[in-house]
Structure 1
Amino acid sequence: MKKKGLILLTAAVLTMGSACSKETNNAGAGSSTSPEAKSDTVVVWTYPVHGTYEKDLPGLIEDFNKKYPHIKVQTEMLSWAEGPKKFDVALNAGNPPDLYFHGVDGAYVNTGLALELTNYLTPEIKADYLPGVLELGQIQGKQYGMPLYQSQWAWGGNKRILEEAGIDWKKIQKDGWTWTEFNEASAKLTKKLDNGSQQYALVTDGTSLDFIEMMTRNNGMPDVLDEKGAFQWNDDRVLNTMTFVSDLIKKGNMPKETSALTPAKRTEMFYGGQAAIISKAIPYYDVMIQNRNKDIDAGKIKGEKIDFVLLPVPHNDSAKPGTTMFGEGYVAFKQKNDKGEEHAKNTFLVMEALSGAKAGNSANELVLPFVRKSQAEEFKGKEMGKPENLEAGKLLAKNMIKPVTLNLDIDKAAKQKQFKEQVVKPNMQALFSGEKAPKDILEDFKAKGKQMFGQ
């Protein structure tokens, strides 16, 4: 009996060993999970990044779980309106999600909860990112974010109106244009229409700072502060920029009611043919307007179909062109009750999966430059935008101005934000309405700049 029992026990052990060996081999071939891997949950808060993102996300996670079945990915789709508030509350309470869709922010790093990624980035991942892109996920040289795409601010034109006025938009896309050239074009694009309404060369809204930030970046000023923290908006460059904008309104090339225009009204005027050019325009307008044209053809909405043209922002004749671009993607966080190094590694694995080749559909849908070589290869021949606008976007990216906030310490970044909200925004309203002259705005900038920055 003892001999028989020993034989049975030996057979059982051999069988178990064979099973374990088979499981281990399978894990190595089709999964990076070992039998000892502990189950873990990584929490992801994100947004409807583009039209199909809510459909794309489960597929990305499914692919990830084929390789890492022990890591559960728990996602929550936030609204653009309420999501930022919800995240701020969670962050301040010390319990942010493991991954959050956003650009990197010095305020996040200042909490001590942002997860530095430098040690997790493999040479292969670094090599896959296109030059200059990973830096868009860094604060003062340390990696905290993985860009999914490069946001790009530009202007957009109505091809019909531009061509009727004899404007060579192809040349502008290729070579850019100066303020002098834009003024010459504006005179041709501003006129009374047959229905009695006014057609303007340019329309923008009066409620945001996007327009003036794009204009100053095309006059040698990367931001209110430069990357070393020196105050910029206190000399003739900002005076010349304000004068250029003021003159557009005085000449009637921009609406006199600009200060009261909302982003929605600005878009309505562009769709209605009341403006040849709209600021700001993102490349995604190409897809949006193509879809609008389809709705017009289907009788769902009324209006004139528009052929959209992506245009660079004009630059001062004596300055270099500059494109406003920044990285958006996933930022990783720890919690007040730290879950340990293994959880941090798992968080990075999920982050990489949500930023990899197939995740490049976000850039594709938004008609933005891909951030990784693998993404460009994955979607080669499947691009959503029109060829001329895709090419224009690539040219715009060559003149990218890196956000200065990525180099500023948290105190200076906060003061810059405060200066924009408390000083720049009301002065822009006053400039648009004609209540303040450019020279008076410059003096206000100088005085407030000394108070806030000591410069």
Structure 2
Amino acid sequence: MKKFLTVLLAGLLSLAVLSGCDRTPSKPKPVDPDDITVNLDPNMEATIEIMVPGGNVNERTMIQCLIDDFADLFPNVTIEMSYVSVDNYVSAVGQQQLAGTLPDIVWSNSPDFYDLVESETFVDLTPYIKANEMQDKVNTYIGANGEAGKYSFENDFYTEFYGMSSVGESCYVIPRSCDSVVTFINTDILSKAGVDLDPATTKVKNGWTWDDFMEVCAKVRTYMDNNGMRNDYVFDANLTSWLSVCYPMLLSYGAEVLNEKGEVAIDSAATRECLDMVADLVSKRYINDSTVATSGSFDNGKSAMLFQSASVSLYANRVALKGKVDLVSFPLITENDTPKIGAGVAGYAINAASKNKELAWAFLTYLSSYAGQQKMALNGLNLASIRKDLSDYKNANWGKDYETLNLSAYTYGSEYKVSSDFFTRTKLSAKAGLQQAIKQMFNNACNAEKAKDMDAIISATVRDMKDAMIEY
């Protein structure tokens, strides 16, 4: 009896503790645009905090320049900066949300923002966009003339990228640039391999096809083998670690991850065709087997090409690549007449628990303004602007110092751009498991031994995807 009472009391205490410690944020209430104050008192006093990726010097520099400018608009407002690791981003943000310490403005990206929509961490920014549009002018929306201007969502922005940070009709992240996968090239290696780079005749240009790409790979492989570089590989594919490359490849072959009903659809002839292509890249030693470590990479000047969406400044200024870098569009896979190019969003969201949402929105409005975009571009954002009036890189600041490079690769082929949005066809909490399943499938296809049995690879993927979608 004494033991029973002890257990009973312990159970009741546990329930009381759990009840008392439940800090799960309440569901954010819908906001009416009419209730949002866009033009705040410039003399207001407040402190807000913005979270940026800790390992990205460019990002910190870009945001600091905006903070400095914002102080001219709101001299009594203090903006503090904190940092988050990209490697454990979702868990780190989630922990701070539960602890009540999450900053007012939070860096995010696709597809990670989906997790934080599911947990209702971020504010639906659509009413704030509408509130901006209702004003004759928005005081933090600074134009080319240095004056506050009229905000027009459809006219001012490449809205398809806002769509990539939306779920349904609700937008959760304001993009700070247009992020699109391109092919970075080492012009020195390609030239030595005998690849024609004459602008008038080259196949290495925006709109090139996968067949063109494979032809270049063959020449580079031969050059490497004949010049003591047998252990180096032709290109860094990012196939096994990044959905922005492997998912568009699947779509290009006509494959689906989930169908429109949210059912697993990965087991198809189109998927097998895509994975066979990947296995062929390994067998020809264009990319490394996933079981083989390699010290050579595009970054250190050992590989000829790289699939990436990063700012050109990240590579053009490396010692091993100085004067040897250019870029072209991602090669179009045309076998199924549905070529796709990976695209996505990096930008900023507003914490649903913030007590200064309107001030946070004023900052994001400045970030997306002509003045804000131009200022960030001068401080490391060498990616295509989200604004239509800054599309020409030869005149806009985002192309400054790199005008001789083919920066139009970033903006080429808007009709082909696609984000990894299949998560929205099922419960968003399944995202992490689904994402890992697709990455592992490509990892296995890059393993020469496992690639001998594609049926086994796909069966394992189907199992892992279904496990991810189980309601616990």
TM-score tier by shorter-chain length is 0.7 to 0.9
What SS does the corresponding residue of 1:259 show, helix, strand or coil? coil
| Structure with the greater alpha carbon radius of gyration | 1
What SS does the corresponding residue of 2:337 show, helix, strand or coil? coil
User: Hey, what does 1:289 align to over in structure 2?
Assistant: 315
Q: CA deviation at 1:42?
A: 2.0
Alignment of 1:56-455 (within 5 A): 56-80=62-86, 85-103=91-109, 105-121=113-129, 122-123=132-133, 124-126=151-153, 127-163=155-191, 164-167=193-196, 170-178=202-210, 180-191=211-222, 192-198=224-230, 200-204=233-237, 208-210=241-243, 211-221=245-255, 224-225=257-258, 229-255=262-288, 257-261=289-293, 265-267=296-298, 271-272=301-302, 275-278=303-306, 280-284=307-311, 286-292=312-318, 295=319, 306-335=324-353, 339=355, 343-360=356-373, 361-362=375-376, 365-373=380-388, 375-376=390-391, 380-382=395-397, 383-384=399-400, 385-404=402-421, 407-408=424-425, 411=427, 413-421=428-436, 423-436=437-450, 437=452, 438-449=454-465
Q: CA deviation at 1:148?
A: 0.5
CA change 1:408–1:304 in 2 (3 A) is: same
Q: CA deviation at 1:96?
A: 1.9
Q: Deviations over 1:255-288 (max 9, x none)?
A: 3x443337x74335x613xx3323x33352x323
Q: Deviations over 1:67-109 (max 9, x none)?
A: 3334332222445457665423111334421110112623222
Q: Supply the AA of the counterpart residue of 1:165.
A: G
CA change 1:304–1:380 in 2 (3 A) is: closer
Is the 1:205–1:261 Cα contact (8 Å) retained in structure 2?
A: no
Deviates further, 169-178 or 120-129:
169-178
Measure, in 1, the Cα distance between the counterparts of 2:104 and 2:408: 36
Is the 1:215–1:313 Cα contact (8 Å) retained in structure 2?
A: no
Deviates further, 307-316 or 88-97:
307-316
Q: Supply the AA of the counterpart residue of 1:130.
A: Y
CA change 1:450–1:130 in 2 (3 A) is: closer
Q: Deviations over 1:202-247 (max 9, x none)?
A: 34467524453343243234x6335663433210111001111112
What SS does the corresponding residue of 1:225 show, helix, strand or coil? coil
Measure, in 1, the Cα distance between the counterparts of 2:368 and 2:386: 9
Is the 2:290–2:444 Cα contact (8 Å) retained in structure 1?
A: no
Measure, in 1, the Cα distance between the counterparts of 2:233 and 2:87: 31
CA change 1:93–1:239 in 2 (3 A) is: same
Is the 1:226–1:404 Cα contact (8 Å) retained in structure 2?
A: no
Q: CA deviation at 1:66?
A: 2.9
Q: Supply the AA of the counterpart residue of 2:216.
A: A
Tell me the C-alpha RMSD between the 2 structures: 3.5
Q: Which runs of 5+ in 1 are unaligned?
A: 1-30, 297-302
Measure, in 1, the Cα distance between the counterparts of 2:61 and 2:330: 32
Deviates further, 72-81 or 434-443:
72-81
The two structures have a TM-score, normalised by structure 2, of: 0.72
User: Hey, what does 2:7 align to over in structure 1?
Assistant: none
Measure, in 1, the Cα distance between the counterparts of 2:392 and 2:207: 27
Measure, in 1, the Cα distance between the counterparts of 2:66 and 2:466: 50
Is the 2:249–2:340 Cα contact (8 Å) retained in structure 1?
A: no
User: Hey, what does 1:26 align to over in structure 2?
Assistant: none
Q: Deviations over 1:283-330 (max 9, x none)?
A: 52x3233312xx46xxxxxx8862333341341422322111111111
Aligned length: 398
CA change 1:416–1:224 in 2 (3 A) is: farther
Q: Which has the higher helix share?
A: 1
Measure, in 2, the Cα distance between the counterparts of 1:451 and 1:81: 23
Measure, in 2, the Cα distance between the counterparts of 1:183 and 1:83: 36
Is the 2:298–2:305 Cα contact (8 Å) retained in structure 1?
A: no
Measure, in 2, the Cα distance between the counterparts of 1:162 and 1:75: 42
Q: Which runs of 5+ in 2 are unaligned?
A: 1-37, 134-150
Measure, in 1, the Cα distance between the counterparts of 2:216 and 2:61: 43
CA change 1:429–1:329 in 2 (3 A) is: closer
Measure, in 2, the Cα distance between the counterparts of 1:377 and 1:172: 21
Q: CA deviation at 1:50?
A: 5.7
What SS does the corresponding residue of 2:179 show, helix, strand or coil? strand
